[in-house]
Amino acid sequence: MSGSGKKPPTRRALLLWSAAAGIAAIALVLNWSSLRWHARTLWRGLPRAHQTPQQKLLLYFPYLKISEEVAESYVTDYGLRVHAVGRLTELDDDFFSRFLMSTDFFQNGGDESRDLQYVAIYGPSITPCYNPLAQLE
């Protein structure tokens, strides 16, 4: 009686485990740049993770008069019609420029002293008839 009753691994099991480890290593090498990009994006977003997208929007445009309701409406529409945003989302230039196009900022000559009003989410395929840069007068 040897006591343990455990068999040593067979050569076949050892080869299978080695092949699985090799495949995992190859997959890691092939996806390394993608994994690094996701990790870097997450790392950059962590310091601002305590801020909601609405707060990030208000901080991006400190010189404009933007109410909480306007920011909330825009972020909700942007999330539904463009792509979802959250606390860890790295907001790009499209998010901020589309915000200005979605308000009456340009319709009022870019006046920074007046309160902005949300009109509709801007996007040629989303709201085809809405053009905030049109001079209709």
Q: How many CB atoms lie within 10 A of CB 122?
A: 23
Res. 89: pLDDT tops 90: no
Please tell me the predicted confidence (pLDDT) of residue 46: 63
Q: By three-state DSSP, how is residue 103 classified?
A: strand
Q: What is the pLDDT of residues 92-110, one digit of tens each?
A: 899 999 999 999 998 888 8
Specify the pTM.
0.63
Three-class SS of the chain:
CCCCCCCCCCHHHHHHHHHHHHHHHHHHHHCHHHHHHHHHHHHHHHHHCCCCHHHHHHHHCCCCECCHHHHHHHHHHHHHHCCCCCCCCCCCHHHHHHHHHHECCCCCCCCCCCECCECCCCCCCCCCCCCCCCCCC
Q: What is the pLDDT confidence band of residue 60, given thresholds at 50, 70 and 90?
A: very high
Q: What is the pLDDT confidence band of residue 80, given thresholds at 50, 70 and 90?
A: very high
More confident residue, 6 or 116: 116
Q: What is the pLDDT confidence band of residue 130, given thresholds at 50, 70 and 90?
A: confident
Please tell me the predicted confidence (pLDDT) of residue 4: 64
